[in-house]
Amino acid sequence: MSNVKHWIWLTLRRGLAGQNAVRVLEHFGSPELVHAADEEAYRMVGGLSDVAVCSLMNKSLDQADVVLGDCERYGIQLLTLQDSNYPERLKAIAQPPMVLYWKGKQIAFDNEVAIGMVGARQATPYGVQAAAKLSAELTRRGALVVTGMAQGIDASAVQGALKMGGPVVSVLAGGIDRVYPYYHKDLYEDVAAVGTLVSEYPPGTEHAGSHFPIRNRIISGLSVGVIAVESARASGTLLTVNHAIDQDREVFAVPGPIDAPQSEGTNRLIREGCAKLIMEADDVLCEYVDRFPGKLRLGRSASLPPETEEQRLEGAAIVPDQAGTRKAKERPQREREDDVVYLRWVDCKNKLTDDQRSVLLALDGSAVRADDLVERTQIPARRVLSALTVLQIQGYVAEESGKRFRAAVKLKME
């Protein structure tokens, strides 16, 4: 088994992007053997540039040590291509990432009905609402949404999954410690709390435009199917769809108005038979019921009442305005009496899950740690953290110093 430092060293070599890195690794057999080779051996690989050979001749592991130090500092974990828990479905693609950096929950992707969701950054209100609704439905029915962290469709998909209290995966085009866009800092933290942030780029790497098309192969590679929500005629969304087709993944598309520029790409996918037209989550998940028995909950019995689903999704759809800032739908108004914000318990029954209600009840006015809530509610820690994240998003709970939580509202029980 190769030392993780040698894996990091290999990924940091200049001129070894894409297929060149795969070819070098296949030629020598392991990162350690690549590290030990000389210039003559590198020249025998063929196709390597002088820049790549020169970079390979730099045997220093100092950069790898820095990366490992940053990972420890930021709570980032690593997976290498040789690790037993590296996703098999990702390992099978043409250019699998040699190292995956991740933060949050470790997810067994090969056991999950992971559905990639991609779309325009400059999304229309229609696209934003469709992404949030589909993501919420998929999460509620047992699927795992895999998306990015850009504004528009990505952010809406993340919010939709979080509103249902379920995990979500965001694949990034830079280091996990680099928040992009900057106003998604809270969203980063929410995903890390209940889901997973994933990147093939080490900490400290900025989100460059050239990284996004490369990143897209990971979204489709981790997934069993990919949904395109909105897309112009030529866009990064269609690049992800191309990756999905090359990787033998199912492709789905949300139809849009025939004269809408942001729906031209998705409408063409449907017209040309490259994607299945979908209108709801069951249109996607029906393709995977037999493959993942007992994993999914389909049909009307799995649906929330329309009014409850609408309440859950309020605030989930983030629409960037022309200045690039975020606009969120108004949350339900809460009653105020003597400057105290009250929440009627009868409303909680429709708006919150059982776990969220139990956690809110357990916050008796004092600031407490998550461990205390686990003891009070007898709910597993993972579910308590998930409930706390959603309650914070909805403004019902606030986090104080020392990782303590307090209720931001008072319950009105009558």
375 and 402 together in one domain: yes
- Where residue 52 sits, what CATH number does that domain have? 1.10.150
pLDDT over threshold 70, residue 341: no
How many domains are contained in the chain?
3
Least Cα distance to 356 among 165, 181, 73, 182 occurs for 165
Q: Which of the residue ranges 201-205, 247-251, 357-361 would you say has the lowest mean pLDDT?
A: 357-361
pLDDT over threshold 80, residue 392: no
Tell me, what's the pLDDT at 300? 55
Tell me, what's the pLDDT at 11? 94
More confident residue, 186 or 218: 218
Query: What order of strands is seen across the sheet that includes strand 335-337?
Result: 335-337, 340-344, 410-412
Kindly report the average pLDDT of the chain as a whole number: 85
- For 330-369, give the DSSP string: PPPP-EEETTEEEEEHHHHHHHS-HHHHHHHHH--SS-EE
162 and 306 together in one domain: yes
Tell me, what's the pLDDT at 350? 62
Q: What is the average pLDDT across 389-406?
A: 80
More confident residue, 66 or 233: 66
The count of C-alpha atoms lying within 13 angstroms of the C-alpha of 364, restricted to the half-sphere facing its C-beta, is: 5
pTM of the model: 0.75
Tell me, what's the pLDDT at 333? 40
175 and 119 together in one domain: yes
Q: Which of the residue ranges 168-182, 342-356, 400-414 would you say has the lowest mean pLDDT?
A: 342-356
- Is residue 66 one of the residues assigned to a domain? no
Query: What order of strands is seen across the sheet that includes strand 368-369?
Result: 368-369, 404-407, 397-400
406 and 375 together in one domain: yes
- Is residue 90 one of the residues assigned to a domain? no
- Condensed to tens digits (0 to 9), the pLDDT of residues 177-208 reads 999 998 899 899 999 999 999 999 999 999 98
- Is residue 69 one of the residues assigned to a domain? no
188 and 273 together in one domain: yes
pLDDT over threshold 60, residue 334: no
Of all residues in the chain, what percent carry a pLDDT higher than 70?
85
More confident residue, 315 or 13: 13
- Where residue 343 sits, what CATH number does that domain have? 1.10.10.10
Q: Which of the residue ranges 16-25, 106-115, 137-146, 341-350 would you say has the lowest mean pLDDT?
A: 341-350
27, 95, 193 from 98: Cα distances, Å: 15, 9, 25
305 and 380 together in one domain: no
- Condensed to tens digits (0 to 9), the pLDDT of residues 301-320 reads 455 545 445 545 554 544 44
Name residue, tokens 């104080």.
400
- Where residue 276 sits, what CATH number does that domain have? 3.40.50.450
Residues spanned by the domain of 381: 335-412
Tell me, what's the pLDDT at 396? 82
The neighbour count for residue 19, using CB atoms within 10 Å, is 11
41 and 146 together in one domain: no
Tell me, what's the pLDDT at 337? 42
348 and 260 together in one domain: no
The pairing of beta strand 326-328 with beta strand 397-400: unpaired
370 and 222 together in one domain: no
Q: In the structure, what pLDDT confidence band is assigned to residue 299 with cuts at 50, 70 and 90?
A: confident
14 and 125 together in one domain: no
